[in-house]
């Protein structure tokens, strides 16, 4: 079992396993065929308000991560988090994001929670 994060714009690799898009918006300029997304659990994505707040530079990554974790306590998000955890128990999972800095994105928070 492995969970990793990749940019959705990078070409798919054989070791990706189940490819899960974890962005609320579809990646700009990318066709669904090229993305090869297997799952798109929108309830796992940060809310529009939180995403806008973070991208506006109004807060630090640590505060963003705390707020995002709080959002993931919602029933639908928690259910989808458990679903992705089950996928990871069965094999490899790649979380896909359009973020230019995946290491400072919500995807990193997800990996930590999924591995925890």
Record the tokens describing residue 96, joined without a space: 């896909």
pLDDT for the residue 33 = 92
State the pTM of this model.
0.93
pLDDT digits (tens, 9 = 90+) for 38-74: 999 999 999 999 999 988 887 789 999 999 999 999 9
Any idea where the domains of the chain sit in the sequence? Answer: 3-115
The alpha-helical segments, DSSP class H, found in the chain are 32-35, 48-55, 61-71, 75-90, 106-115
């Amino acid at each position: 079992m492995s969970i990793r994060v990749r940019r959705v714009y990078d070409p798919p690799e054989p070791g990706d396993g189940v490819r899960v898009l974890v962005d609320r918006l579809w990646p700009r300029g990318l066709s669904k065929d090229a993305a090869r997304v297997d799952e798109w659990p929108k309830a796992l994505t940060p809310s529009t308000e939180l995403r806008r707040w973070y991208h506006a530079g109004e807060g630090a990554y640590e505060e963003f991560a705390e707020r995002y974790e709080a959002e993931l306590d919602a029933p639908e998000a928690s259910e989808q988090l458990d679903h992705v955890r089950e996928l990871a128990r069965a094999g490899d999972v790649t979380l896909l994001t359009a973020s230019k800095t995946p290491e400072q994105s919500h995807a990193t928070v997800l990996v930590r929670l999924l591995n925890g």
